[in-house]
Chain A
Amino acid sequence: MGVRRGLIANQPFITTRIEAAVDWARKNSLFPLPFGTACCAIEFMGVVSSQFDLSRFGAEVVRFSPRQADLMVVAGTVVYKMAPILRTIYAQMAEPRWVISMGVCASSGGFYDDYCTLQGIDQIIPVDIYVPGCPPSPDLLLDGLLKLQKKIDERRLLEQS
């Protein structure tokens, strides 16, 4: 993060770059929008509950409005009927916004290779992190969140979203 410590008149201070500070703030206070459709949504509920506790990572405030969220967790199969809705809700989120594709159905259609299932949400929206599993165990989703936090750290302020 580029933090530098020093002392002025025996009072400690730290210096950092704005980008690092802003990214630190953003990654530690992600507001998830759980776009939960299927079984992965139940595992997401499990991640949010007390045993696995998503709020340790700052992502406790779950908001269902795209205007109030910055991380969309697509948890579950997205079918062609749902695709326009997903696209609209993603478009209504304000930048900076990230997407975690939770589960294999959201990442690639899963084992539903048929007439109604979208074969991966990356066909309609950009995805930052793919979390495999059917459903992924909560530990795996937390790992995905940590990877996303690392990804947020590596961005530069001027090229956002």
Chain B
Amino acid sequence: MSHPNPDRVRGHLGPDLLADCSSHGDLVYAVRRSGSRRVLQALRDDPELRFDMLVDLAGADRLHLQQRFERFEVVYELYSLWNGWRLRLKVPVPEADPHLDSVHDLWKAADWAEREAFDMFGLHFDGHPNLKRILCHHEFVGHPLRKDYDRSRGQWCATTETLEDELALRHQSEQRRARAEGLAEPSATQISERMLVNIGPSHPLSHGTLRVLVELEGETIKHAIPEIGYLHRGFEKSAEKGVWNNVIPYADRLNYVSALSNNVAYVKAVEKLAGIEVPDRCKFIRVIINELSRIMDHCVCNAANIVDVGALTNFWYLFTVRENIYKVVEKLTGARLTNSYARVGGLARDLYPGFADEVRAVLKESMPFVRDVLKLVRNNRIFQERTVGISGISAAEAVSYGWTGPCLRACGLPLDARKRDRYYFYDQFDFDVPVGENGDAYDRIMVRFEEIFQSQRIVEQALDKLPEGPVNTAQNRFVLPPKQEVYRDIEPLMNHFMLVMFGTPVPPGETYDSFEVPNGELGFYIISDGSGRPYRVRVRPPCFYLYQAYPQIIEGSMVADMAAALGGLNVVAGELDR
């Protein structure tokens, strides 16, 4: 990852700079909270730096850490699309007065991220229009990610929120906007005549656990209020429970449709923090499983999306592709859906003999299904009427919301971390990055189809170039030694014991690392205190930022367009709610 000129950045920070905390190849500065908003705005507006994307906004409770400024800290991860530069700012917040300025108007992505920081840590963002809980239920008392909150203390919830308070806020802003534009304000009777429909957590449209309260005038959606958190399973708190490798099964279940990618994303971040070098064979295998995972995820996403639009046949075809790849994956990892295959420092096991031939055969058998589906839908008049021009978003808006992945590429921006960050030999593979034009539902579906074909190319090339050698790192203290040695010599036995009982010896420090999973940029901001157990594992979920734009892309459309819009975003609740 490349960085901007530190002097220019420092110029903007000025007297608010507390310290330079750069490490592990990242450029990081600690900034006083009184100047945090001014600094962030300057960094965004600077014509040379142009940090137009807020990749992540995370909180951290540094209660037990030696190295800290205050108890809490808010971490802003910024990215400049134009230049490809990254920058992290840390703003310490004291426990006695947990307030700081909101930046929701600088980047739209900050809206929900600040609500989450409030929900999890109790940090108040002054100026935020709607600072209420987003993941925990409305009867929850306390802030769960604080270190003094007992992990197993569950709190029952007796009722579901009606969301009328958010609706009232929307009505107010609608009237304000009408007044500002000189149009007639909607009267109280007009508002009361609109129909309120709750498209709730248990609905075929909602892909699991998404809830949207829509206010309809006829068939047109006037306001849409999403509510998330119906699958908030406490990933980040559970990650602090065990050792570094124990987080991998939890990471599987983030975007459970592409579990293998999440495995690799997590261990890559830990390896960056610990300075572990994995051998080339491991990198190639990780590329192969990541791309197979991409094919599976895009198949499910498109299958569900097209079914929601009304075409059922494609669902059976694309699920057959998925089942075919499952056969190979099950043989390799032992599980179909949630495979904990990667480990910190390598992989759980090497490939089985015959893997390459089987993968090639499976892909050869499966690609005709995908091509058939594409032939069925691409020029179909009904499909085009339902997806072309529906739920479009401009590239600038998408960047402000923090969109990444196929949805951003559908808006016309060829941003792909595999090409940009050049990790794991992706620069040696010959593949294209499909880019859409309008950012509508049609483009999102087509971009995903094209990516399936590109992933097939990558897998073929990776299988051809796959080197021999070990799959685990040579740095012994990080990986489990082979069982034969453990039973024979004392040193591997001690190594095994230390790893299992006390965890991978990741030195103290923190870093952010990202990886291109099928849905976009999955990032992990991890803090280690050197104890072998993670101190903080923050997930930067791609669909959290994608789903935030959902009200904007459906307001003004008809109810039936909600299906096409939501399917294309590939919102997986495991990742959205963690």
Contact = CB atoms under 8 A, between A and B. Distances in A.
A and B directly contacting (CB within 8 A):
yes
A81 to B, nearest CB: 4
Given A115-B153, A115-B155, A117-B234, A38 B323 contact: no
Interface string A123-155: 000000000001101000000000000000000
A51 interface: yes
A51 B320 contact: yes
Given A38-B253, A77-B231, A84-B159, A114 B151 contact: yes
Nearest to B257: A42
A39 B574 contact: yes
A135 B232 CA distance: 18
B223 interface: no
B157 A81 contact: yes
Contact of B158 (A35, A79, A84, A117): A84
B151 A41 contact: no
A158 B229 CA distance: 42
Interface in A71-92: 76-77, 79-85, 88-89
Contact of B154 (A38, A41, A46, A80): A80
B149 A82 contact: no
B209 interface: yes
Contacts of B287: none
A119 interface: yes
A116 interface: yes
A37 B338 CA distance: 15
Contacts of B233: 38, 77, 79, 112, 114, 116-117
B319 A85 contact: no
B338 A36 contact: no
Given A42-B337, A64-B202, A89-B202, A115 B154 contact: yes
B509 interface: no
A91 to B, nearest CB: 13
Interface in B155-169: 155-160
A85 B338 CA distance: 27
B202 A38 contact: no
Dominant secondary structure at the B interface:
loop
A111 B249 contact: yes
B323 A37 contact: no
A64 to B, nearest CB: 5
Interface in A21-57: 35-39, 41-43, 45-46, 49-51
B152 interface: yes
Given A35-B202, A37-B231, A116-B154, A82 B320 contact: no
Contact of B337 (A36, A39, A50): A39
A117 B137 CA distance: 11
B253 A39 contact: yes
B129 interface: no
A113 interface: yes
Nearest to B230: A82
B4 interface: no
Given A80-B137, A81-B157, A115 B320 contact: no
B143 to A, nearest CB: 10
A79 B154 CA distance: 10
B573 A37 contact: yes
Contact of B336 (A37, A43, A85, A116): A43
B238 A112 contact: yes
Interface string A2-22: 000000000000000000000
B279 interface: no
A115 B151 contact: yes
A42 B231 CA distance: 15
Contacts of B345: none
B104 to A, nearest CB: 24
Given A42-B256, A112-B238, A135-B337, A50 B154 contact: no
B237 interface: yes
Nearest to A39: B256
Nearest to A119: B154
A83 B150 CA distance: 21
B253 A51 contact: no
Contacts of A81: 136-137, 157, 229-230, 232
B373 to A, nearest CB: 14
A79 B149 contact: no
A80 B156 contact: yes
Given A42-B300, A85-B202, A49 B234 contact: no
Contact of B155 (A38, A80, A111): A80
B337 A43 contact: yes
B234 A135 contact: no
B156 A113 contact: no
Contacts of A42: 256-257, 300, 337
B14 to A, nearest CB: 41
Nearest to A36: B208
Contact of A80 (B157, B201, B202, B238): B157
A112 B150 CA distance: 14
Contacts of B200: 85
Contact of B157 (A64, A83, A111): A83
Interface in A97-122: 111-119
Contacts of B322: 46
A2 B127 CA distance: 73
Contacts of B202: 35, 64, 85, 89
22 contacts: A37-B230, A37-B573, A38-B231, A38-B573, A39-B337, A43-B336, A43-B337, A45-B300, A49-B315, A50-B319, A50-B320, A77-B233, A80-B137, A80-B157, A82-B230, A84-B160, A85-B201, A85-B230, A88-B160, A113-B152, A115-B153, A116-B233
The 9 closest A-B pairs by CB, nearest first: A39-B256, A114-B234, A81-B137, A49-B319, A80-B157, A51-B323, A112-B233, A82-B230, A64-B204
Interface of B: 135-137, 144, 149-160, 200-204, 208-209, 229-234, 237-238, 249-250, 253, 256-257, 300, 315-316, 319-320, 322-323, 336-338, 573-574
Given A49-B323, A116-B144, 16 more contacts: A35-B202, A49-B315, A51-B319, A51-B320, A51-B323, A76-B231, A80-B154, A80-B156, A112-B234, A113-B152, A114-B233, A114-B234, A114-B238, A115-B150, A115-B237, A118-B154
Interface of A: 35-39, 41-43, 45-46, 49-51, 64, 76-77, 79-85, 88-89, 111-119, 134-135, 137
